[in-house]
A and B are shown apart, each in its own frame.
Chain A
Amino acid sequence: MSPLLSVRNLRVSFPTRSGMFEAVRGVSFDLGRERLGVVGESGSGKSMTGRAILGLVRPPGRVEAERMELGGESILNLPEARMRRLRGSRISMVMQDPKFSLNPVMTVGRQIMEGYRLHTGKSRAAARDKALEMLAAVQIRDPERVFHAYPHEVSGGMGQRIMIAMMLAPDPEILIADEPTSALDVSVRNEVLRIMDRLVGARGMGLIFISHDLNLVAQFCDRVLIMYAGRVVEELPARDLHAAKHPYTQGLLNSLPRLDRPVERLAVLQRQEGWRDALPAETP
């Protein structure tokens, strides 16, 4: 089966006073109907990769790639108008903080309807039904009430569920989730993950899950890319993450305090210059 999304040698660079800064330096991967985790520390280029796919890198930032195809069609540097049609209908994105992604002066219901109608051109009535259906699908107990609520009237966890409902309403093929649960408390986090888990599974979507949390990605995803300084340093099945070979991945795992494994001192990651240029380790 051909992949939903195919990226080859993606580069994102920004001009700075001291020359070009390369945020992403040659990232390649294919995404099928699976959950792909992208892990790395801040500045590793993981979010920038997601933004580049969605065409959200603003000038003077530059996006280059040998190939960036969505279902066999190139989406590299499309004109903004075409990209806007694509965003939402075929690829969607859920960001870290729902507070900043929802319009504060529009009711939740209208926002979902608006996005849906923009991409499908359906009637208001159909959009309304769809919005209520989606709110129910993200396990909001009283969809009617939330439909008429403003974003400031809902909690963080609820806001993130609304975002997911909004993003999945036009039935996209790919969902890019950029740290979707980092702003949430643990108990709420698991609920949101459960909802995403079910929806993505049921619709056979491709999911790119961008996170700094290795354990979470290991538990939630099928496959993991570990990024360091704009490159993928290791790619492996999520269940084998704890048997990672690359010293960076190992270092990250060891530096986490764990409830089940008390240590006197935490292991500190010793960064090596060579990691910046090393090619990704072969996947078995």
Chain B
Amino acid sequence: MLTVENLDVWFGHAPERVDAVKSASFTVPQGESFGLVGESGSGKSTILRAITGLIDTWSGRVIVAGEAIAGRHRSRAFHKTVQMVFQDPYASLHPRHSVDRVLSETLYLQGMDRIDQRIARLLDQVGLGQGFRFRYPHQLSGGQRQRVAIARALAAEPKLLLLDEPTSALDVSVQAEILNLLGDIRAERGLTYVMVSHDLAVVAHMCDRLAVMREGRIVEQMDAARLRAGAAEGDYARALIAASTGYARET
């Protein structure tokens, strides 16, 4: 579904050029859920932004559903195949657009028919219901906003969903609801996920396999069982797993 080979992403020009991602390679087969973990600045979100064309300074080979992509421009087919959910639900919805406007514009852009019915179905699917259709973002809680963002991503009926820390801005109880929702949607539609997170427990719960990133490089790939067992090969990944299990008091 998604193949990334020798992906380099950089910002700015020499001599101030910053290499955010350095020769990253990974493959996500259809139907799999793949995690990208790492600390802030490790380049994990940057990979998603390069794939979607939000960053155009990259090189390497990226193949999405058999279609090789380049630069900034993406085809109509790409937008129908790949969608993204952003980290901060407070920043990813236009403050002056109602839920109705967001979804109907998306459906229109994706060339969908029967927009009214589709909006109703999408809202039901993400567990919001019709009562939310004409609300503005400021009338929604963080979790509800993220549900709207998920509905927007699902509107095009994509095959590959890129999730950029979709729950890190939410409370744990809301996080559980959103993660369950994402799990249900994947089971129902057979979607492929690529999920970026700094929370290893969330990735272990959501993903089959994952890559650990550090300073722009993928240092290790493993499956979720190994992550849970703490049986990473490299020192860095092991230290990361140990650190995220919590804090041990001295006194």
Contact = CB atoms under 8 A, between A and B. Distances in A.
Interface of A: 41-42, 156, 185-190, 193-194, 197-198, 201, 212, 214-216, 219-220, 251-252, 255-260, 262-263, 265-269
Contact of B240 (A156, A186, A215, A256): A186
Interface string B2-44: 0000000000000000000000000000000000000110000
A255 B243 contact: no
B228 A186 contact: no
A259 B183 CA distance: 17
Nearest to A188: B39
Chain A interface helix/strand/loop/mixed:
helix
A220 B247 CA distance: 7
B39 A219 contact: no
Contact of B176 (A197, A214, A259, A267): A267
B200 interface: yes
27 contacts: A41-B172, A41-B173, A42-B142, A156-B40, A185-B40, A186-B39, A186-B198, A186-B243, A186-B244, A193-B247, A197-B249, A197-B251, A198-B250, A214-B172, A216-B246, A255-B175, A256-B172, A257-B201, A257-B202, A258-B201, A259-B200, A259-B245, A260-B245, A262-B204, A262-B205, A265-B183, A268-B173
A190 B174 CA distance: 25
Interface in B195-251: 198-202, 204-206, 227-228, 230, 239-241, 243-251
Interface residues of B, number: 36
A259 B241 contact: yes
Contacts of B239: 187
A223 B208 CA distance: 37
Q: Which 5 A-B pairs have the closest CB atoms?
A: A255-B176, A257-B205, A185-B39, A269-B173, A266-B176
Nearest to B173: A269
A200 to B, nearest CB: 9
Contacts of B246: 215-216, 219
Contacts of B179: 257, 266
Give the one of B40, B198, B199, B247 with max A CB within 10 A.
B247
A177 to B, nearest CB: 13
B116 interface: no
Nearest to B230: A259
A201 B172 CA distance: 30
A197 B205 contact: no
A212 B180 contact: no
Contact of A185 (B174, B183, B198): B198
A255 B247 contact: no
A197 B125 CA distance: 46
Given A193-B247, A220-B249, A252-B173, 20 more contacts: A41-B172, A186-B240, A189-B247, A190-B243, A194-B250, A197-B250, A197-B251, A201-B251, A216-B247, A219-B246, A219-B249, A220-B247, A257-B179, A259-B204, A259-B227, A266-B205, A268-B173, A268-B176, A268-B180, A269-B176
Give the one of A186, A194, A220 with max B CB within 10 A.
A186
Contacts of A260: 228, 245
A257 B198 CA distance: 13
B177 interface: yes
Interface in B158-183: 171-177, 179-180, 183
A269 B244 CA distance: 23
B172 A255 contact: yes
A187 B176 contact: no
Contacts of A219: 246-249
A266 B251 contact: no
Interface in B39-74: 39-40
Nearest to A270: B173
A245 to B, nearest CB: 18
Contacts of A194: 247, 250
Nearest to B205: A257
Contacts of A256: 172, 176, 201
A263 B206 CA distance: 10
A252 B171 CA distance: 9
Contacts of B175: 255
B224 to A, nearest CB: 8
B201 A262 contact: no
Contacts of A257: 176, 179, 199, 201-202, 204-206
B168 to A, nearest CB: 10
A255 B241 CA distance: 20
A259 B174 CA distance: 19
